[in-house]
Structure 1
Amino acid sequence: MKTDLIIENIPVSIYENPDAMGSAAADFVERKVKEAIDLKGYANLILATGSSQFTFLEAFKEKEIDWQKITVFHLDEYRGIPEKHPASFRRYLKERILDEVAPKKIYFLNGDAEDVEQEIRRYSNALQKHPIDIACIGIGENGHIAFNDPPVADFNDPKLVKLVTLDEACKNQQINEGWFPTMEDVPKQALTLTITAILNCKAISCVVPDERKARAVHNALYHPISTECPATILRKHPDTRLFLERGSASEI
């Protein structure tokens, strides 16, 4: 069973369970990637992390895609943790998809880089050289996209990548999802793509499972567009699609 809606110019698809949701999102991203490859011979892709992406990545890595024509970026990384750390997003992506599909090129955000400003410049330059065809993102419990929490979100950010301080709601989510044992263990900062960088992407696939995200989904679709809920800005993007399941759609 599937329900399709259009809310504030965003096509919204609601599925019975997270597996069906993830599979549908994988179909959508596969189509966008193949369209880009057919048009210009290559595609540039952003992948997200976290528990919201589990079913999408499982389905997406099974698609018959020429990964040797794809350059991959990711959304964010904790400041100061090495790649081998269990919560590292670099490790997450390697283990869940990238080591298996072997893209042509991967640009990782190095959260433990000694010179943060130099790392920001490096990643920003790479994004400018590889305009993104499709970004795969989620929405946080506080309405964030990437690590653009309400206190640091900027809809007109001049930067593509920046260092941010995580708010309490965001850090609580990391604990609730099992990435860290206590609040003290959660890094205070992270490197993140800005909202400007996300909105620059030609298409956006936003995958949001779980009833604990239902209020954030409701706010993203119905509240006034403001940084109080950063995901509201997705309503201004010309090609965003939102994938939900019954739990996350329960307040629509």
Structure 2
Amino acid sequence: MTKILKVDNLDVAIYETTVDMGKAAADFVQRKLSEAIAEKGSANLILATGASQFKFLEALKEREIDWQKITVFHLDEYKDISDTHPASFRKYLKDRILDAVNPKKIHFLNGDAEDIEAEMDHYAEALKNHPIDIACIGIGENGHIAFNDPPVADFNDPKLVKLVTLDEACRNQQLGEGWFPTFDDVPEQALTLTITSILNCKAISCVVPDERKAEAVYNTLYHDINTDCPATILRNHKQTKLFLDSASASKIDN
């Protein structure tokens, strides 16, 4: 059984299982992409990575979507990691969905570019030229969206893409999800779309399963809107839907 609630502008849907949550999010994203294609003949999409996105991407890959009319961006990438590294977000997206669906165009954020500033400028320009119809994101254990951790999050960021230093909680999450063998192997910096970039998107699908995210989910919904929990800003966006499973929703008061 699905539970529905609304907090400020944020629509929240709670599903019993992660599989059901992923399927519902895929349906929502499919609908938004189809609407954009029907309206203007093409669509622009941002995809997220991480363990939280597994079931959603599995479901999205199975949906009837005209990928040849879709341009894809992604949220972030570690600095100085190649696209063959097991933890690379470019590799993650290629392996889990993009190689299978073959979109019209993919804009990858290259964390190992020789000139990082030029890479970020190029990516920001591509975003300006492709207004995003829907962004698919998650929420970190520390409440971050993309790699906008509390110490670097800015709700009025003048940049669309920036280089950030990851906080300890964020790096511990990457270690805990199994992407790196030791804490010291987790990169200290990453390139990320800013909160400004995310809020500029017409619609946002936010997929957040698992009990380890339950506190961040509670904070997102019920704490003051500030950068102590960057995801709280989603409550101000006009077209965001938060997809939870029973575990990630476990701290929400019935």
TM range, normalised to the smaller chain?
over 0.9
Residue in 1 that maps onto 2:200: 200
1:213-237 Cα deviation digits (max 9, x unpaired): 0000000011000000000000110
1:144-197 Cα deviation digits (max 9, x unpaired): 000000000000000000000000000000011000111100001000000000
- Output the amino acid matched with 1:205: S
1:85-116 Cα deviation digits (max 9, x unpaired): 00000000000000000000000000000101
Residue in 1 that maps onto 2:145: 145
Equivalent residues in 2 for 1:104-119, closer than 5 Å: 104-119=104-119
1:69 to partner: Cα distance: 0.2
1:7 to partner: Cα distance: 1.7
Equivalent residues in 2 for 1:10-21, closer than 5 Å: 10-21=10-21
Answering whether residue 101 of structure 2 is matched by residue 101 of structure 1, we say yes
1:9 to partner: Cα distance: 2.1
Q: Which runs of 5+ in 1 are unaligned?
A: none
Q: For residues 10 and 120 of structure 1, what CA distance do their matches in structure 2 show?
A: 30
Residue in 2 that maps onto 1:245: 245
Query: Does the residue aligned with 1:248 lie in a helix, a strand or coil?
Result: coil
- Output the amino acid matched with 2:146: A
Answering whether residue 88 of structure 2 is matched by residue 64 of structure 1, we say no
Residue in 2 that maps onto 1:42: 42
Q: For residues 114 and 152 of structure 2, what CA distance do their matches in structure 1 show?
A: 23
- Output the amino acid matched with 1:124: A
1:11 to partner: Cα distance: 1.0
Taking only aligned residues, the RMSD between alpha carbons, in angstroms, comes to: 0.4
* TM-score, with length taken from structure 2: 0.99
Query: Does the residue aligned with 1:61 lie in a helix, a strand or coil?
Result: helix
Query: Does the residue aligned with 2:62 lie in a helix, a strand or coil?
Result: coil
- Output the amino acid matched with 1:179: W
Query: Does the residue aligned with 2:44 lie in a helix, a strand or coil?
Result: strand
Residue in 2 that maps onto 1:190: 190
Residue in 2 that maps onto 1:213: 213
- Output the amino acid matched with 1:244: L
Q: For residues 236 and 12 of structure 1, what CA distance do their matches in structure 2 show?
A: 13
Q: Which runs of 5+ in 2 are unaligned?
A: none
Residue in 2 that maps onto 1:170: 170
Residue in 2 that maps onto 1:160: 160
Q: Which 4+ residue blocks in structure 1 deviate beyond 6 angstroms?
A: none
